[in-house]
Amino acid sequence: MITTKPVARVVYSAFFLSLVVIILVQSVMAQGDSDAAAQTKIIALEHAWNLAETNKDSKALSAILEDSMVYVDYDGTLRTKAEFLARVKMSTTHPEQEVTESMTTRVFGSTAVATGIYVAKGVENGKPYLRRGRFIDTWALKNGTWLCVASQATPFIH
């Protein structure tokens, strides 16, 4: 006598495996779409940061920086969010331009890392400056909003 139970199990197992594969593929594709949207948002926030810093708009900067943010400035100075915002508002600093030449973003769930090359030009303490270097900014998604939690700028040595 031939039994059909093993065949049914194989068909059921193949169906179940196919269903799991389809769900996983859809999940990965949705994550990819989600990552692309997050990368676009981070790039926009980085450009908004440059514009806000150029315009000395500490209110706009404050909105994208997490309260416990850590900032390592181009000269190695470690700053809190409040210290960074105070430096931006200094009357002895007159930024003319802050631009990002290139940038890459990577998303890791609710964390994103942006790396790139920046150029900053202006006058500080009566002396013109032109700085070019690399940056790395770490962003965290908190209550549906991306906030920068850590930032470092490293100048290029000429």
State the total domains in the chain. Answer: 1
Pairing of strands 127-142, 93-108: unpaired
From 135, 130, 131, select the one nearest 153 (Cα to Cα): 135
- State yes or no: pLDDT of 120 exceeds 50: yes
Q: What is the CATH number of the domain that holds 147?
A: 3.10.450.50
Res 132: pLDDT: 93
Distance of alpha carbon 93 from its chain centroid, rounded? 26
Average the pLDDT over each of 12-16, 33-37, 87-91 and give the range with the smallest value.
Answer: 12-16
Domain containing 44: what range? 5-155
Nearest to 48 by CA among 100, 105, 84: 100
**Which is it for the CA torsion 73, 79, 81, 84, positive or negative?**
negative
Say whether 69 sits in a helix, a strand or coil: strand
16's tokens: 């179940």
